[in-house]
Amino acid sequence: MKIETIPQAINNEAGLYEGDLKYYFKVIFLNAQNRFHPYHNLRHMLHVFWMCYQACVHYSDSMSPEEKRILLIASLFHDFDHSGMSGNDDLNIARAIRGLEKYLLNDDQIYLDEIAKIIKATEFPYAIPTHQLSHCQKIIRDADIAQVFSVAWIQQVILGLAKEWGKSPIDILKMQEGFLKGINFGTTWARELFPQEIIDGKIKENREIIAILLE
């Protein structure tokens, strides 16, 4: 069964992982204080969830249903209650884990430490080298940066980060090339989905947008 919508993935209509994630979807939709932030918002959290879901499909034969559930819960909570400001991302990670601890279902308590470890992999600048990450940590880190390749990247990433960081959109555009050149995906899934030609194409698009704006 091909899953094409967030509700289908949340309801686990394909039976990819253990149980379903309806409760956790309700938690972030109704309670996350960062839902309305310019970048670290509900859209971003759900985008990372969606990308992690696609990774679970890609690795369907090598990941257990339990591992997939753990990863997907982490993806939903990885930016829970994010401050929406630059710097001190360790504090944002702490907020996310505090939210996880508050809302984690009793049946998932045995996974708490592992989910928290996966969330910690998204701290930026990266506190843990890629080669030291577990497979699930590599997936969520790759998923976390993938929104720059979405069709909504100018609104979501460029304007969103400009607002949160107190910079101009052109400033953020100028920072993008260095970020894109530094991407080093940790999984074969992400490298296949975003090969070097895709990254080079985004760099070219970014340069062209800057050129138009500065004419």
Buried b / exposed e over 107-141, threshold 16 CB at 10 Å, is ebeebeebbbbbbbbbbeeeeeeeeebeebbbbbb
Q: What is the pLDDT of residues 169-184, one digit of tens each?
A: 999 999 999 999 999 9
- Expressed as residue numbers, the domain containing 58 is 6-213
Q: Quickly state the pLDDT bin for 2 (edges 50, 70, 90).
A: confident
Asked if residue 99 is part of any domain, the answer here is: yes
Asked if residue 108 is part of any domain, the answer here is: yes
Asked if residue 1 is part of any domain, the answer here is: no
Q: What is the pLDDT of residues 74-95, one digit of tens each?
A: 999 999 999 999 888 999 999 9
Asked if residue 137 is part of any domain, the answer here is: yes
Report the mean per-residue pLDDT for the chain: 96
Nearest by Cα to 72 from 12, 4, 147, 148: 12
Asked if residue 52 is part of any domain, the answer here is: yes
Q: What is the pLDDT of residues 102-112, one digit of tens each?
A: 999 999 999 99
Q: How many domains in the chain? A: 1
CATH of the domain at 154: 1.10.1300.10
pLDDT at 128 over 90: no
